Structure 1
Amino acid sequence: MYVGGDDMNERVHSILKLIVKKPTIKMAELTDELSLTKRQVNYAIQQFNGELSINGLANITREHNGTFNLPLEVIQLLQSQEQQNLLLGEQDFFLDDERIALILMYVSLQDEFISLDHLMELLHVSRNTVIEDLRKVNWFADKYSLNVSYTRQDGYFIKGLENRILQMISDLIKQTKLLRRESIKTILISHISEEEVIHLIHNMEQMMHFSYSDESFEYLLSSVRYILQRAIHNSDKEVTFFKEDLHGTPEYKFLRVLFQDTNWKLSIDYIEWISLLFLSSNISEQKTTQYYDSDQDLKILIKRMVDEFQKQTLIEVIDREVFERRILSHLRPACFRIKYRLSLGTYSMNSLIQDGNHAILNTLMKELIIPIENWIGKAFPYDELELLSYYFGIQLTNHRQWAPQKPRAVVVCANGIMVSKLMRDNLKKLFPEIQFLASFSIRDFYKFGVDYDLVFTTTQLKTNILQYVTNPIMNYKDQIGLRYRVLKDLGFSEVDQSIEDLVSIIKRYARVSDSRSLKEELALYLLQEQSNSPIENFKTLPSLTHFLKPDFIQVVAKKISWEDALTIACKPLLEYGIINERFIEDCKKQIVQKEYAGYLGQQTCIPHTTIENGVLKDGISLLVSKEPIEFPNGMNIHFIYPLSFYALTKHLRAVNQLADISNNEELLSNLVAEHNIKELYQIIRKNS
């Protein structure tokens, strides 16, 4: 039996790879990561279980807690095929299509020499795999009349018309969810920060007096950032995309103004292309009745469309002016997408409720849209026409609207890069109702905080937006308590009334001595049971000693500098290939900065950095110093825990335990007094 060959399609392959990579993953996260429905996942696993049974192997099952149970034989089967990817180790695993997308993006965005070794490092695969991938890359690039070439002088680079390269980049972002991950964007995009692009989009919303839909905002956040990277590298090149077709649009005019306040040097042509990204993005809320001159022709055509609709259906549109304005808000970006052959973005008709009325409208819309198709000179593709039909229908009935726009949140954490990302990742899982866009330092928050609706922070901030001060590492009960408070404030929670009803029922048949505690326990239970509250079960995650091995602990008794202490502390991780020298150098650069906050408690430093700065695998080491080590900001440190985390999702419990240890003064005194490394390890193991 060969997994991934004729006996198994790529969908099953990708599902199993993800389950092995994330043993605690549940159906909701699995379907989200792979952009599949629950039915598609269940069908794929059912088909594969049939093959397993034929081959005399145990089947894949679901546990009571919603996780998947893979038989050992299946895991071994997967391992044997993907040894070069170290699937059960610490490397990232990319599917074939993801590797193709990564190579194309990498050669499109980098302005430095790219060798085969660079691509091997990027993808974590062998030389032969990269060579095979490059053949597939050119098959894909040929669809856009592009070619990935190689010369000894320039390395690998992409060749073809600039507008086709930008079209390919836009399509890849739409098709490949991996490219929208922050960790991938951090590797591929060096010149443009996430917060700067969020600020640009928010400013555009303010100037245009509307809000982009959640899907369009996410798409803009990635597409604008990637295109800006390409545009900055090519600012000295002369290209022509649209022959000034877009210069009359407000988006283009506003972008010209907004770019003047940045350090980005862009040619007019790239500003046009970025304008098109905004022009083609769906709007969720129009906050003004203002019309722009550039929309006058489309406004007239929509009026005729509604006339014809009323004539054919004998339905009178109520509040017609508002109705036509809403249709304009949808049709305007659709026309730009179709005219310039841009993808629909990340929006999918699979998320919309469809019924018989929608089917009737879809048939009618094929006739109503013809005048607009003649106007733009292009036919509406099926997905755009279907989306328009649905939108037209909900505006008519007014009883079923788009899902409300999610509040936009930012995380402000003073404990350094790794803890900040851990905190953001945990909050995203805790609050699927909220859009978490960025993690900031306090300084950056005061610069960009106006772009958000609420902030989760480790320290009190001077701000008028809704803020929640919380610990970066929360236990299970803390998470549920925070979820209850936030959803109550946002008006999303129906738990309050349920609690009152349950308490009322309980009091009829039992004596309640402590109503307050009963309500708290009921709130915890109800929130825990909600299907849309994927709170992590800490017991399923690895503990601190899973990453901190006895051989990774060292003790020093003499007075040493913080630089020497950091080097010594990192030595075990370096020797075991868990980090490289870049890790140490980057941590030193961080520590000397005034705002460095990589500390837990008063005696512990947790130097850490990101994958692109030397993290190779997961691991934690420890240096215990009998004498206090003076750090640049005046901290006297006895414990240095270098943290090397390749993937943040499974380290929450370990960091939580480390935080508990670092705030336990009696335990810290015992650790400092201990000389024997075995005893040290046993103390830490007992308390984690």
Structure 2
Amino acid sequence: KGMVDYIIDNKMQILPYILEAVFRRMKKGQTITTSFLIDYNELSDTREYGAAEILIEEEPNMPEAERMYITLQLLTSNVLPKQYLKSEETHKLRLALEQVLSEFEKKACIQLVDRESLLEKLFAHIKPAYYRIKYHLTTDYSILDKIDQEFQAVHYIVKESLVPLERFIGSKVPENESIFITLFIGGHLIESTEKLQTRLKAVVVCPNGLSISRLMEKTLRSLFPEIFFYQAMSIREFEQTKAGYDIVFSAVPLSTDKKFFLINQLMDGKERLELRRRVMRSVYLVDEVNISVDQLMKTISKFADIKDAARLEKVLADYLMPVPEETTSTHSTKSSLSDLLEETRITRKKSVADWHEAIHHAALPLFSAGVVEQQYVDEMKRQYPAPIMNIILRNTIAIPHAETEKGVNSLGMSLLYLEEGLPVEGGKNLHFIVVIAAVDKNAHFTALLQLMELSENKRALKKLADAGSTKEMHQIIKNFTDLETKKTM
């Protein structure tokens, strides 16, 4: 707080000298010729505009660039109370800051104490910062060129939480301004004794696209509520990150001096149980009670006739270590599998020459509908020269996909069924290929979970294989997703 006051007070003290220097420079005939790319009248309903007009009323012939410069000097100084911000913008700015704090709470897994007080402090600061950021005015906070190690994790989360403010302002928040916001929030956390460092922090590294990385992150968050997780990263992002972390979960081997756990991208219930035990034993030196699904199955078989052992084993494993509740919520408005796999996006073929041809035919409905560009299809072929096991759900359904920025225009899925199949590792044949086009990390998540359920349901897969038309296949998928939805009610 003292640092913030120092900077504001310092700005107010030097402002008169800045204005005097401007007038002296102009008297010597030296005026600004550079355009600020701002309409002077755009600022006409601000209090600072009126103040600037008073200051220059004896200079009727002052160039517009000079008038703009003086107005911006006032706008970027905390000279006038915050209530003089443009009236129609005040509510929107406050709402954006509330959303920033909500994002911070969600990402940091905490609830801010005395949140309203923090909001007021941020609101008072952001008023002059709003114009600095919006009009790309440089501000030299030389004393803020480095942030304490104590606030490194806070700063990382703050920067990830600034999207609502950046959307409102229409510009990226510069590093020095984000550091200033971190000081406000970090100071508030210290005052309210909410220190992030009391929890271990972990990163999740996934070499694949949004779909798999989102699933990994959600699964791990649910599995380890006592650990703070950063958003899932690519290998490149992991190598460049400056975030402080204690544990690394990755689908591929990595070089790190932190606790490292190599995991399956698509863990079933038994694998989740085993990972939980490994982490608790290695990180917390705690041996949790070992509840074995195999032992439960043996015990149940002694007293009952099991009609579907594989299904019962899966249900028990999922019960003991369920997937995240929020991802299976029936209140979700996200698209289901049957919503995305429309009849027109399902294709049946007898065979294809190779894997790349399979990707081409699987993606064709999305490309034809304008959901993806050719670049996206080419990128999938580049990333997956062969049908590797990392993108095959339960050895039955391949889900090739790439990054959103590689040519995704809207959310979509398409399915290709190959009657003769395509050879993959282990001497098996792959019959189902689903191309996923994701626009963000959430919209397709319900459909992806339902696709995972479908991948291990042999009865439903056989019905799809035996179907006589794409219309019948879509109805089978709809019946399946409706049934899965009822199970979660």
Q: SS of the counterpart of 1:647?
A: coil
Equivalent residue for 2:138, pick from 132, 144, 147: 144
CA distance change for structure 1 residues 345 and 405 in 2, over 3 Å: closer, same or farther?
farther
Per-residue CA deviations over 1:106-129 (Å, capped at 9, x if unaligned) read xxxxxxxxxxxxxxxxxxxxxxxx
Q: Distance in 1 between matches of 2:360 and 2:433?
A: 10
Name the count of aligned residue pairs: 336
CA distance change for structure 1 residues 602 and 534 in 2, over 3 Å: closer, same or farther?
closer
Q: SS of the counterpart of 1:649?
A: coil
Tell me by how many angstroms 1:621 deviates.
0.8
CA distance change for structure 1 residues 424 and 575 in 2, over 3 Å: closer, same or farther?
same
Equivalent residue for 2:331, pick from 525, 534, 540: 540
Q: Distance in 2 between matches of 1:346 and 1:589?
A: 40
Q: Distance in 1 between matches of 2:258 and 2:454?
A: 34
Report whether the alignment pairs 1:214 with 2:153: yes
Gap runs ≥5 in structure 2: 1-85, 120-125, 162-174, 290-315, 482-489
Paired residues for 1:30-45 under 5 Å: 32=106
The answer to whether the Cα contact below 8 Å between 1:214 and 1:406 also exists between their aligned partners in 2 is: no
Per-residue CA deviations over 1:665-684 (Å, capped at 9, x if unaligned) read 34323322222112111222
CA distance change for structure 1 residues 220 and 623 in 2, over 3 Å: closer, same or farther?
closer
Paired amino acid for 2:330: K
CA distance change for structure 1 residues 401 and 624 in 2, over 3 Å: closer, same or farther?
closer
Report whether the alignment pairs 1:427 with 2:208: no
CA distance change for structure 1 residues 461 and 39 in 2, over 3 Å: closer, same or farther?
closer
The answer to whether the Cα contact below 8 Å between 1:456 and 1:470 also exists between their aligned partners in 2 is: yes
Question: Equivalent residue for 1:94?
Answer: none
Q: Distance in 1 between matches of 2:259 and 2:111?
A: 34
Equivalent residue for 2:463, pick from 665, 670, 686: 670
The answer to whether the Cα contact below 8 Å between 1:583 and 1:614 also exists between their aligned partners in 2 is: yes
Paired amino acid for 1:538: S
Paired amino acid for 2:345: F
The answer to whether the Cα contact below 8 Å between 1:408 and 1:453 also exists between their aligned partners in 2 is: yes
Equivalent residue for 1:607, pick from 383, 400, 409: 400
CA distance change for structure 1 residues 637 and 670 in 2, over 3 Å: closer, same or farther?
same
Q: Distance in 1 between matches of 2:382 and 2:138?
A: 43
Tell me by how many angstroms 1:597 deviates.
2.7
Q: SS of the counterpart of 1:144?
A: coil
Tell me by how many angstroms 1:471 deviates.
5.7
Equivalent residue for 2:430, pick from 634, 637, 642: 637
Per-residue CA deviations over 1:344-381 (Å, capped at 9, x if unaligned) read 46242222336xxxxxxxxxxxxxxxxxxxxxxxxxxx
Q: Distance in 2 between matches of 1:342 and 1:551?
A: 47
Tell me by how many angstroms 1:483 deviates.
7.3
Tell me by how many angstroms 1:435 deviates.
3.9
The answer to whether the Cα contact below 8 Å between 2:210 and 2:441 also exists between their aligned partners in 1 is: no
Tell me by how many angstroms 1:591 deviates.
1.1
Report whether the alignment pairs 1:346 with 2:165: no
Report whether the alignment pairs 1:557 with 2:350: yes
Paired amino acid for 2:154: E
Larger RCO: 1 or 2 (CA < 8 Å, sep 6+): 2
Question: Equivalent residue for 2:29?
Answer: none
Paired amino acid for 1:215: V
Q: SS of the counterpart of 1:538?
A: coil
Paired amino acid for 2:135: F
Q: Distance in 2 between matches of 1:546 and 1:15?
A: 35
Q: Distance in 1 between matches of 2:134 and 2:155?
A: 29
Q: Distance in 2 between matches of 1:600 and 1:467?
A: 24
Q: Distance in 2 between matches of 1:457 and 1:144?
A: 40
Paired amino acid for 2:92: E
Q: Distance in 2 between matches of 1:471 and 1:548?
A: 26
Identity of aligned residues (%): 22
Paired amino acid for 1:352: I
The answer to whether the Cα contact below 8 Å between 2:217 and 2:231 also exists between their aligned partners in 1 is: no
Question: Equivalent residue for 2:362?
Answer: 569
The answer to whether the Cα contact below 8 Å between 2:327 and 2:445 also exists between their aligned partners in 1 is: no
Q: SS of the counterpart of 2:348?
A: strand
Question: Equivalent residue for 1:10?
Answer: 92
Tell me by how many angstroms 1:598 deviates.
2.0
Report whether the alignment pairs 1:685 with 2:478: yes
Question: Equivalent residue for 1:591?
Answer: 384
The answer to whether the Cα contact below 8 Å between 1:591 and 1:632 also exists between their aligned partners in 2 is: no
CA distance change for structure 1 residues 574 and 137 in 2, over 3 Å: closer, same or farther?
farther
Paired amino acid for 1:651: H
Tell me by how many angstroms 1:656 deviates.
1.7
Q: Distance in 1 between matches of 2:230 and 2:331?
A: 25
Per-residue CA deviations over 1:325-349 (Å, capped at 9, x if unaligned) read xxxxxxxxxxxx9xxx994462422
